[in-house]
């Protein structure tokens, strides 16, 4: 039996959209968000965010130091990579600041220069040397934000007490809501456009800096 051309086309369209529908459904279920919101153990430790390597990449600093005398003292060269959970990132794009439940990760790795075909410059070694989290959880922490220190990216993290210098440096120098947005090139223009830069950062930054 011969099908009229039109009904064959219609049948193809129906089958086709069904296949696409199933495919999209599968993509969606594969992407179903793994743990993004902060979660804690009964003793107050923070659970490690297992999929942070699939989060939004903000920047890598290399050998950043914040006091003149610290320069070149340690002899160890390190990259730090900063990631933020995708929902917080979307919130920042919309508002220029961080929503409640934001989780930011700082991951430190040795900077190596000898390896494979490399002749100059640095690349990142495979082991994670340092792992810290800055989390905004307004109902849980008196100052809204807290820092956690982790021995490794897959172990629970310990809360760093409020009197630690993490809090004062981030409060006094972070460009947006105690985070170092001045070093995250995709976010700084948004904060400028939305007018969310902290007064302290604006005061200590000469006009045109960072260009």
Q: How far is the CB of 13 from ligand HEC (least distance, A)?
A: 49
- What minimum distance in Å lies between the beta carbon of 22 and ligand HEC? 40
**Residue 105 contacts residue 133 (beta carbons within 8 Å):** yes
Report, in Å, the least distance between residue 30 CB and ligand HEC.
Answer: 28
Please give the Cα distance from 175 to 147 (Å, whole number): 17
Give the whole-angstrom CA distance, residue 148 versus residue 156. Answer: 9
CB 53, min distance to ligand HEC, A: 15
CA-CA-CA-CA torsion sign (24, 25, 26, 29): positive
Q: How many Å apart are CA 176 and CA 180, to the nearest integer? A: 7
Pick between residue 4 and residue 142 the one whose CB is nearest to ligand HEC.
142
Cβ-based nearer residue to ligand HEC, 179 or 198: 179
Cα within 13 Å of Cα(173), Cβ side: 9
Binding region for ligand HEC (CB under 6 A): 59, 61, 64, 66, 80, 82, 104, 106, 132-134, 147, 149, 160, 164-166, 169-170, 179-180, 183
Question: Among residues 124 and 149, whose Cβ is nearest to ligand HEC?
Answer: 149
């Amino acid at each position: 039996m011969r099908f009229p051309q039109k009904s064959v086309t219609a049948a193809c369209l129906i089958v086709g959209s069904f296949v696409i529908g199933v495919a999209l459904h599968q993509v969606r279920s594969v992407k179903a968000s793994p743990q993004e919101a902060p979660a804690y153990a009964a003793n107050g430790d923070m659970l490690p965010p297992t999929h942070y390597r699939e989060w939004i990449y903000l920047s890598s600093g290399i050998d950043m130091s914040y006091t003149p005398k610290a320069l070149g003292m340690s002899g160890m060269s390190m990259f730090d990579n900063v990631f933020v959970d995708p929902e917080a990132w979307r919130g920042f794009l919309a508002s220029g600041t961080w929503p409640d439940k934001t989780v930011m990760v700082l991951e430190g790795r040795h900077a190596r220069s000898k390896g494979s075909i490399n002749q100059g410059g640095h690349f990142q070694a495979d082991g994670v040397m340092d792992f810290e989290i800055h989390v905004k959880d307004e109902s849980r922490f008196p100052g809204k934000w807290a820092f956690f220190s982790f021995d490794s990216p897959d172990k629970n993290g310990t809360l760093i007490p409020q009197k630690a210098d993490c809090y004062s440096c981030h409060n006094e120098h972070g460009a947006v809501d105690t985070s170092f947005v001045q070093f995250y090139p995709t976010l700084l223009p948004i904060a400028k456009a939305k007018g969310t830069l902290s007064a302290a950062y604006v005061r200590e930054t000469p006009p045109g800096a960072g260009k």
